[in-house]
Structure 1
Amino acid sequence: MTAQNSSAAKPAILLPIAPKAVARTRFAPLQPQPVQALLPAEAVRELDAVKPGGGSSVVLQGPGDPLATMDSTVQTLCGIAARYPGVRLSLATLGIGGAAQLPVLKAAGLSGILLQVNAVDPAILEKIYAWIRPGLKTLALPEAARILAAAQRETAIAARELGVALTVVTTVYPNHNDDHLEEIARNMAALQADRMVLTPYRAEIGADIVLPDVDPAWLAEACRNCARHLPAEVARMAKGCMEQPLEVPATLPKPTADRPHAAVASSNGIDIDLHLGQTTRFLIYGPREDGLVCLRETRSAPETGVEGRWRRLAETLGDCFAILAANAGETPRQELARAGIAVIRTEDNIEGTVDVLYGGGKKGKKGRS
């Protein structure tokens, strides 16, 4: 077996669809940079923007773990598989609960998993992770590390039995697991993993613990050692599959003939500063007859607490393709997305953001969606 360089591989389309984290390494910032998880309908729309062809690869991943929110993960898989049947679908995971969930995921269209295995020895996992939450509660780290190691092994076995391609991704942490890489390779080869990807640790802004950089020459040699056991390569990505800065198509929803307008949640008519649930009146922007985009009217939102509030809002804004709000809960985002209205969470000024939606200049710095 030989080490391989991944630079020739066609980059996958990475979609952040998992909002719930199940672990945090000691080298991540306590308050990581927020990343908006896509709803199932939004993930499909992202792919509509890039129109992946047959043989393209799509990876569902963080900011959390896709296995922690199975309902939305399965919906996303089914939605993409139905729209783009020729696309290869994978997900990045720590593997907690994977053995039980892989049959459902495969039936929904999954063909591969990227399993983040940073150690096969629970004692080393304890040195790498600050906390691990295998279930609803955070367990004592020694117990949680043992559960994680066992769960990853079980997930690897299930992948082999189901014919799901298994890529093992290992982040190399100097002085923590750098002398353990070949042991990981040996164990994963015994479980018939398809390949191993080594990715070097990179320091993160705001992290309390900073490790030395990984020497590229040393990493290349470590990769050759791992390749004695299974195909191995050094990753293009800067981080492991569960810690990778997410790369999604830089697209926003666009107006259509049926939905030419955008609704804005604002208290002062200048800034997008209201939570969706607190908005009683929306500003409606859209093009005039001469094409100039401006404020066209205002519309009242359904009263708080009424039955079917978000369905009624979708009807009230039936000619809108987007809502701009400072924040919004998961339930209204999902219901409105199903109705064809994207909720964009941002705290920018109205004029600049609306200009971007209708094909104008660059958005300000505060936008989050």
Structure 2
Amino acid sequence: MTESSSTYSSHPCFGSAARKTVDRIHLPVAPRANSRIKYSSMQIMQEAIQPEAALAWLDDVIAEGRKIDVVGITGPGDPLVLPDLTFRTLELVKAKYPSMSLCVTTLGIGAANHAETLAKIGVSHVTLLVDAVSRSVIEELYAWIRPSKKNVPLEDASSILLSEQSAAVKALKAAGITVKINTTVYPSNADHVGEIAETMKALGADIMAIIPFIPKDDEQEILLKKTDSITMAAARDLAARHMELMPEWEECGAAVKTETTSLLPKPTKSRPNVAAVSSNGMEVDMHLGHAEKILIYGPRDDGLACLLETRTAPKAGGGTARWEELAGTLSDCFIILAASAGDSPKQILSRHGLYVAVTDGEIEGTVDSLYGGGKKKKCKK
């Protein structure tokens, strides 16, 4: 079979023709995972950012001269666990950059229910992560699968996953969306890849990528080594008998990396200041919800950032209204630093243009970094 037909050859994650000429960016707005492979890294998952912050980052990347053609939602969790965040991000991007291609990468749980919404927003391509089409292989590969809000026994979850992925391919194709299957090759599914390809092709999937397992850190490498070239060649041969394949795996497209510093917002003329919550005035050590006072930092006439004033935070217990009021109180700030914060204030404040950064850093050093100073304790998203 040929590799990459004209239907999707212009997409850097789907076709070879554009992989070196098209830039893409993955916006990390999906905060929750719905599965875990047994060989996954034990490192703490990157914290997701809010849709408005993701759009601001995209704006910054474009302003720096990068011509972004494709925006993808791929992580750090699964985009369809909390689909409203994914949909809002895609809608914001499409409204501001209508010619930009949109894509999503997902395990597929819930995808059938959201296929029409994805198509309506303008998503043209969806990648499904399919590492098995057999309950026994699923149960060998996965540590857990969470089809809803709670974990269920793996033997039950495996059946649900098979059903959800099958329904996802059918619904996505019916909605006019191109479907790629990503299969990572492990020792326990290497001989199973042909069956995956045959099953997915019969359901209507368009193309398949065969990906080697690659450890991300030393701890993960102890669990399992990188899939060798002989195993990969055999897996590709099995799959190619049934479905069109992507070229041999490499990191697709010219992706803009989601580095911590690049995701943080920058001061603007209307929002030049930094807000921070602290119990001692030196370190960011308070939960946002517990703060009674807000420290405001900003540039002086000579450009040096310093403490400008202290403002009173709205009283606790006001729910949504409290965060709406805080947004007004901090209307001249582009970021607020806190040791922790709930999802609700993050979302509400972000919609008002105020980014919530979770950090345990020393205030002055962090503020200095935000204004372009030397390398200090950096914020965690």
TM over 0.5: yes
How big is each residue's C-alpha offset from its partner over 1:112-159, in whole Å with a ceiling of 9 and x where there is no partner? 111000011111001001111112332221121011011111111112
2:213 alignment counterpart? 201
What is the alpha-carbon distance in structure 1 between the residues aligned to residue 68 and residue 268 of structure 2? 30
Please give the secondary structure, in 1, of the residue aligned with 2:307: strand
Counterpart residue identity of residue 368, structure 2? D
Give the aligned partner of residue 21 of structure 1.
33
For the residues of structure 1 that align with 2:174 and 2:158, how far apart are their CA atoms? 25
| Superimposed CA distance per residue, residues 317-365 of structure 1 (whole angstroms, 9 cap, x where no aligned partner) | 1111111111111111111111111111111111221111111222426
1:57 and 2:70 equivalent? yes
Of residues 254, 258, 265 in structure 2, which corresponds to 1:248? 258
Once residues 315 and 282 of structure 1 are traced to their aligned partners in structure 2, the CA distance between those partners, rounded to angstroms, is 13
1:1-369 matches, cutoff 5 A:
1-2=1-2, 8=20, 10=22, 12-29=24-41, 31-51=42-62, 56-174=69-187, 176-205=188-217, 206-207=219-220, 210-233=223-246, 234-237=248-251, 247-248=257-258, 250-306=262-318, 308-364=321-377, 367-369=379-381
Cα distance in 2 for partners of 1:257, 1:123 equals 58
> Structure 1 76/128 Cα, relative in aligned 2: closer, same or farther at 3 Å?
same
* Contact in 2 for aligned 1:91/1:114 (Cα 8 Å): yes
Partner-residue secondary structure (3-state), 1:63: coil
- 2:24·2:68 contact (CA, 8 Å) conserved in 1? no
Partner SS state of residue 89, structure 1? strand
Residues 123 and 218 (structure 1), Cα distance of their counterparts in 2 relative to 1, 3 Å cut: closer
Shift of 1:3: 5.2
- 1:243 aligns with none
Q: Does the Cα contact within 8 Å between 1:22 and 1:65 map onto a contact in 2? A: yes
Q: Give 2:304's aligned amino acid.
A: L
Report the secondary structure of 2:318's partner residue: coil
Query: Number of aligned pairs?
Result: 360
Is the CA contact (8 Å cut-off) linking 1:286 and 1:295 kept in structure 2?
Answer: yes
Contact 1:3 1:227 in 2 (8 A): no
Does structure 2 conserve the Cα–Cα contact (< 8 Å) formed by 1:280 and 1:303? Answer: yes
Q: Percent identity?
A: 43
The answer (yes or no) to whether the contact 1:224–1:232 under 8 Å persists in 2 is: no
Deviation at 1:2, TM superposition (A): 3.7
Question: d(CA) in 1 for partners of 2:373 and 2:163?
Answer: 52
Q: CA deviation at 1:229?
A: 2.3
What SS does structure 2 have at the residue aligned with 1:82?
A: helix
Q: Which runs of no fewer than 5 residues in structure 2 stay unpaired?
A: 5-14
- In the superposition, the TM-score normalised over structure 1's length comes to 0.90
Kindly provide the CA deviation profile for residues 281-330 of structure 1, in whole angstroms up to 9, marking residues without a partner as x. 11111111121111111111111113611111111111111111111111
The one-character-per-residue Cα deviations of 1:195-249 (angstroms, maximum 9, x if unpaired) are 11121112354459712321124313432442232221333249xxxxxxx9426
Amino acid in structure 2 at the alignment position of 1:105: L
How far apart are the structure 1 equivalents of 2:329 and 2:142?
47
- Runs of 5+ unmatched residues, structure 1: 239-245
Residues 132 and 196 in structure 2, CA contact (< 8 A), matched pair in contact too: yes
- Secondary structure of 1:18's counterpart equals coil
Partner of 1:242: none
Q: What residue in structure 1 maps to residue 7 of structure 2?
A: none
- AA aligned opposite 1:137: K
Give the secondary-structure state (helix, strand or coil) at the position aligned to 1:296.
strand
- Name the CA distance, whole Å, in 1 between partners of 2:159 and 2:330: 51
Within 1, Cα distance between the matches of 2:133 and 2:47? 31
Contact kept, 8 Å, 2:70 with 2:102, in 1: the verdict is: yes
> How many angstroms apart in 2 are the aligned matches of 1:199 and 1:362?
36
Check 1:251–1:139 CA distance in 2 against 1; reply closer, same or farther (3 A cut): closer
d(CA) in 2 for partners of 1:172 and 1:9?
28
Which residue type is aligned with residue 288 of structure 2? L
* Cα separation, 2, equivalents of 1:339 and 1:95: 32
Deviation per CA, 1:244-283: give whole Å up to 9, x if none.
Answer: xx94262321111111111111222221111111111111
For the 8 Å contact 2:287–2:339, the answer to whether it is kept is: yes
- Which residue number corresponds to residue 241 of structure 1? none
RMSD: 2.4
CA distance in 2 between partners of 1:343 and 1:154 (Å):
37
Q: CA deviation at 1:12?
A: 2.7
2:170 maps to a residue whose letter is I
**Larger displacement relative to structure 2 (5-14 or 271-280):** 5-14
